[in-house]
């Protein structure tokens, strides 16, 4: 069984953290759970990085770099000309304007060269046993279709044209669609639905090709980098959205699985932050009710049908309670079936006010859902520093 844990996400307070306290938290976690992989953050002070590396070696944990691929990592910065371009021909702003959530376009030649050079420099350090590639996607459009759906940059237009897809024409048609009554609902449904039968409407066909194009772009870039890492003997893990949302951000789980040793899916049922199911679905809900002018019950029903997920009966319920363990199980089963690589259940155990506040009943029910779904292991998320040890004790009692 694989059990990964993420540790020391980039934050202003990292420089002030006490080295002994950092190691003690990791040791305490290791005493509770048989952690196999330590996914260490990307912008650590050298003293903390080395202390965690030594502790991973002592504890028999694989020392894996947690690396945000298509966003900033402290050294690689998302320059303005490289950023994803939205429907309004503007750069997509990062979540809270954070560099680690400001996305660059995988089709931009300077981005491709810069990221390959960055990985080569990290490999030369010789301290990692593998890479956990995060942010392998386009920005989520859930928080605003016009502001966040991309990319329509010149490099994407050129690459799409070679596939006989006219992005300028599609951009114009989508802007017209979102201004019409019911248009935003059609777009939201298309983003969530994985359609097996060809669409009859020409715009839906074009939109389907656009979504496929985005997934191909992400998959191809990740495959190129995975080859670079494998040649250096690195283990490769990928961080992906929950299956119902993956297409929306340009992730094709079956195709990405071919490049990975394992995939973690962020089927976070109680997280009000990027990639969390409630957070993303609430964004789409607000698009429907504000932009499409439909009521609460109709919006939730639309999202439930498009995502094939049971949802709470009210917006407040989705925000405060999150999704049920049955919904989480459904998502994980979908991921297990889709991924050719072993699939790990992303499992939020952090306690951050306004982002994730859990109770033992939620944790127990969700752990049972993970077991029933047949995941290959658990990816404890997303920063051990903010995880109470009693949550880890509960995992030991109810999951192992």
Residue pair 349/267 in contact by the 8 Å Cβ criterion: no
Q: Give the ranges where the chain is alpha helix by DSSP (H).
A: 19-32, 46-59, 109-125, 145-148, 154-162, 167-178, 183-192, 202-231, 243-246, 253-257, 277-286, 296-307, 315-321, 325-338, 360-373, 389-399
Tell whether the torsion through CA atoms of 32, 35, 41 and 45 is positive or negative.
positive
Q: What is the DSSP letter of 80?
A: G
Q: Could you tell me the residue range of the domain that residue 44 belongs to?
A: 2-399
First to last CA, the chain: 10
Q: How many domains does the chain have?
A: 1
pLDDT tens, residue order, the chain (400 aa): 999 999 999 999 999 999 999 999 999 999 999 999 999 999 999 999 999 999 999 999 999 999 999 999 989 999 999 999 999 999 999 998 889 899 999 999 999 999 999 999 999 999 999 999 999 999 999 999 999 999 999 999 999 999 999 999 999 999 999 999 889 999 999 999 876 666 678 888 999 999 999 999 999 999 999 999 999 999 999 999 999 999 999 999 999 999 999 999 999 999 999 999 999 999 999 999 987 779 999 999 999 999 999 999 999 999 999 999 999 999 999 999 999 999 999 999 999 988 987 989 999 999 999 999 999 999 999 899 999 999 999 999 999 9
CATH number reported for the structural domain that contains residue 334 in this entry:
3.20.20.80
């Amino acid at each position: 069984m694989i059990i990964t844990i993420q540790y020391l996400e980039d934050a202003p307070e990292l420089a002030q953290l006490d080295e002994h306290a950092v190691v003690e938290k990791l040791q305490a976690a290791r005493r509770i759970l048989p952690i196999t992989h330590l996914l260490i953050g990307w912008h650590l002070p050298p003293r903390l990085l080395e202390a965690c590396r030594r502790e991973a070696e002592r504890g028999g944990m694989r020392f894996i770099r947690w690396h945000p691929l298509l966003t900033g990592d402290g050294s690689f910065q998302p320059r303005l000309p490289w950023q994803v371009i939205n429907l309004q021909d503007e750069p997509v702003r990062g979540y809270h304007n954070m560099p680690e959530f400001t996305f660059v376009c995988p089709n931009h030649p300077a981005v491709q060269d810069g990221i390959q050079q960055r990985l080569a420099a990290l490999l030369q350090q010789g301290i990692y046993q593998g890479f956990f590639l995060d942010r392998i996607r386009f920005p989520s459009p859930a928080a605003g279709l016009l502001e966040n759906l991309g990319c329509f940059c010149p490099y994407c237009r050129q690459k799409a044209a070679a596939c006989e897809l006219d992005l300028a024409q599609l951009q114009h048609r989508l802007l017209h669609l979102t201004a019409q009554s019911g248009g935003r609902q059609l777009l939201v449904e298309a983003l969530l639905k994985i359609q097996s039968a060809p669409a009859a409407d020409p715009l839906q066909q074009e939109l389907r090709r656009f979504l496929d194009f985005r997934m191909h772009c992400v998959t191809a870039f990740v495959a190129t980098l995975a080859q670079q890492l494998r040649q250096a003997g690195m283990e490769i893990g990928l961080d992906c959205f929950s299956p119902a949302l993956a297409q929306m951000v340009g992730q094709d789980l079956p195709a990405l699985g071919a490049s990975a040793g394992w995939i973690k899916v962020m089927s976070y049922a109680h997280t009000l932050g990027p990639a969390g199911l409630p957070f993303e679905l609430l964004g789409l809900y607000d698009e429907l009710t504000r932009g499409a002018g439909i009521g609460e019950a109709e919006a939730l029903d639309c999202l439930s049908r498009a995502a094939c997920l049971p949802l709470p009966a009210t917006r407040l319920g989705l925000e405060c309670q999150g999704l049920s363990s049955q919904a989480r199980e459904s998502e994980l089963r979908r991921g297990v079936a889709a991924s050719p690589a072993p699939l790990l259940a992303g499992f939020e155990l952090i306690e951050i006010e306004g982002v994730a506040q859990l109770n033992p009943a939620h944790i127990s029910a969700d752990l049972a859902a993970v077991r029933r779904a047949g995941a290959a292991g658990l990816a404890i998320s997303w920063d051990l520093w903010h995880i109470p040890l009693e949550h880890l004790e509960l995992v030991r009692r109810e999951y192992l």
